[in-house]
């Protein structure tokens, strides 16, 4: 029952040993709300949603913090470009992120703190770092002295002499260009807060160190985020927190990107695919399957073809579920997942290997149905539902009950296909078998599988 995780800091898979037996604390870097989310943003939330679900299945009490960065350079620039208040842009996009997480079935975090709500905690941390000689004020800014912290750059495995720290706007008065800003002096027209060093606003890195300290204490189990955050964000978080006296995170878990033509999906590169657009074109549960089932440390190369393959693969699972339900009614999930599934999930959240167990069980269940072995088919469905519940993909879960109907494309197609199937059924009732066969042939040519059951005709996409 030992869960193992790849720890970026250790550069190896390690046995997970919680700080508090039976409990797991997780901090995930969440949204910077300067724009609506694309599917690359949501992938991180999905990966850690599956991790939460697995820890809970294994009996852990989970505390999950996912922050919101509601003030930074990008939001301020958007405010100037759009002639709108910075807080209005942040709130609008925070809602869009929440809608995206909800649409794809992510469970809500325990707490979702905003950066602007934690300025007192940031001031306290800066004061402590200045007193300890790890930070200094200059021109109304507050900087972290990277040379004062010997462990700096161990996470990203860089050499300080070769470091090029990303420069922020208005960062004057640095002693060393590699020092990074924890607090930025106020500039005309920008939001600001009072501090002992003058009015200003938070630096990106400081907010997470301060919020993790407030909600999870001086030490916690897992810190997560995308691989692009390893440097500078997570490296700078570590420096601030540990120089302040915190042990901070004991495991560092990073998910890979969603790419397009080999490039990271990014608004700035113009290659992003918005979640709000995708859920209009694809069923949300299929989008979750597509984004959530590759291993979290593997890149996902976006393509329409890959999404169609995901849709066909999920249709095979869903078709089995529907067949058993039509025969035996709703079957409750099994109390335990199959051992091979558990073994895969325990090994660094091995979702691809766990999903292979799902598909094997589906094939066994379909074979039992074809052999009219109701008892075995029902048992296999119970196992499938238990596994799909961990992955957030159980089509019988109440979350999905109405999610794939209404205005989305699948709901429209479903209504149209059922209308055609009703016409086919009418032709069969009239003994007009030529017309019924012709309708079936046209549907098959369109890429659908048609199955006649005692309760009526069903359709699925051909795999």
Q: Which residues carry a binding-site annotation for Zn(2+)?
A: 29, 208, 233, 237
Known binding-site residue numbers for ATP: 267
Structure tokens at 65: 């913090």
- Distance from C-alpha of 251 to C-alpha of 234, rounded to nearest angstrom: 12
Residue for token digits 């009418």? Answer: 426
- Distance from C-alpha of 346 to C-alpha of 16, rounded to nearest angstrom: 10
- Contact of 349 with 296, CB cutoff 8 Å: yes
- Distance from C-alpha of 88 to C-alpha of 430, rounded to nearest angstrom: 61
Q: Which residues of 337-370 are buried (b: 16+ CB within 10 A; e: fewer)?
A: bbeebbebbbbbbbbeebbebbeebbebbbebbe
**Burial of 168 per CB tally in 10 Å (0-12, 13-18, 19+):** middle
CA distances from 5 to 14, 60, 66, 345 (A): 5, 15, 19, 10
**Which helix or strand (DSSP H or E) is residue 72 part of?**
none
State residue 174 phi and psi, 5-degree precision: -70, 140
**Burial of 238 per CB tally in 10 Å (0-12, 13-18, 19+):** buried
**Which helix or strand (DSSP H or E) is residue 194 part of?**
none
For the sheet with 180-185, list strands across it.
135-138, 141-144, 180-185, 200-202
Q: What angle do CA 122, 251, 235 make, to 5 degrees?
A: 50
- Distance from C-alpha of 30 to C-alpha of 47, rounded to nearest angstrom: 12
Known binding-site residue numbers: 29, 208, 233, 237, 267
**Burial of 35 per CB tally in 10 Å (0-12, 13-18, 19+):** buried
- Distance from C-alpha of 18 to C-alpha of 66, rounded to nearest angstrom: 19
């Amino acid at each position: 029952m030992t869960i193992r995780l790849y720890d970026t800091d250790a550069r190896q898979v390690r046995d997970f040993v919680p700080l508090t037996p039976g409990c797991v604390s997780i901090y995930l870097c969440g949204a910077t709300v300067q724009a609506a989310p694309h599917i690359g943003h949501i992938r991180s939330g999905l990966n850690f949603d599956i991790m939460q679900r697995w820890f809970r299945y294994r009996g852990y009490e989970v505390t999950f913090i996912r922050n919101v960065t509601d003030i930074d350079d990008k939001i301020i620039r958007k405010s100037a470009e759009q002639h709108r208040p910075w807080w209005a842009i942040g709130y609008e996009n925070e809602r869009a992120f929440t809608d995206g997480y909800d649409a794809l079935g992510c469970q809500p975090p325990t707490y979702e703190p905003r950066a602007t709500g934690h300025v007192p905690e940031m001031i306290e941390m800066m004061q402590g770092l200045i007193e300890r000689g790890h930070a200094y004020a200059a021109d109304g800014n507050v900087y972290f002295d990277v040379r004062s912290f010997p462990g700096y750059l161990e996470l990203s495995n860089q050499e300080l002499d070769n470091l090029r720290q990303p420069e922020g706007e208005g960062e004057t008065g640095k002693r060393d260009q590699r020092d990074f800003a924890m607090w930025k002096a106020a500039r005309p027209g920008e939001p600001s807060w009072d501090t002992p060093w003058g009015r200003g606003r938070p630096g990106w890195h400081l907010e997470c160190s301060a919020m993790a300290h407030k909600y999870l204490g001086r030490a916690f189990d897992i810190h997560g985020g995308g691989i692009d955050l390893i440097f500078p964000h997570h490296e700078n978080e570590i420096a601030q927190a540990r120089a302040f006296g915190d042990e901070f995170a004991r495991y560092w878990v990073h998910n890979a990107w969603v790419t397009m033509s080999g490039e990271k999906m990014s608004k700035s590169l113009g290659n992003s695919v918005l979640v709000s657009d995708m859920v209009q074109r694809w069923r949300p549960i299929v989008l979750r399957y597509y984004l959530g089932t590759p291993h979290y440390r593997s890149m996902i190369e976006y393509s329409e073809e890959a999404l169609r393959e995901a849709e066909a693969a999920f249709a095979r699972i869903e078709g089995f579920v529907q067949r058993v339900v039509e025969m035996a009614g709703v079957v409750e999930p099994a109390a335990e997942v199959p051992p091979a599934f558990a073994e895969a999930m325990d090994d660094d959240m091995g979702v691809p290997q766990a999903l292979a167990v799902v598909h094997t069980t589906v094939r066994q269940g379909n074979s039992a149905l074809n052999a009219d072995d109701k008892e075995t088919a029902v048992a296999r469905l119970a196992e499938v539902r238990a596994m799909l519940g961990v992955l957030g993909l159980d089509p019988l879960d109440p979350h999905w009950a109405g999610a794939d109907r209404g205005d989305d494309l699948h709901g429209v197609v479903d209504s149209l296909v059922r209308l055609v199937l009703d016409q086919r059924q009418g032709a069969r009732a009239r003994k007009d078998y030529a017309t019924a066969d012709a309708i079936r042939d046209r549907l098959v040519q369109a890429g659908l599988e048609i199955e006649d059951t005692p309760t009526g005709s069903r359709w699925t996409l051909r795999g």
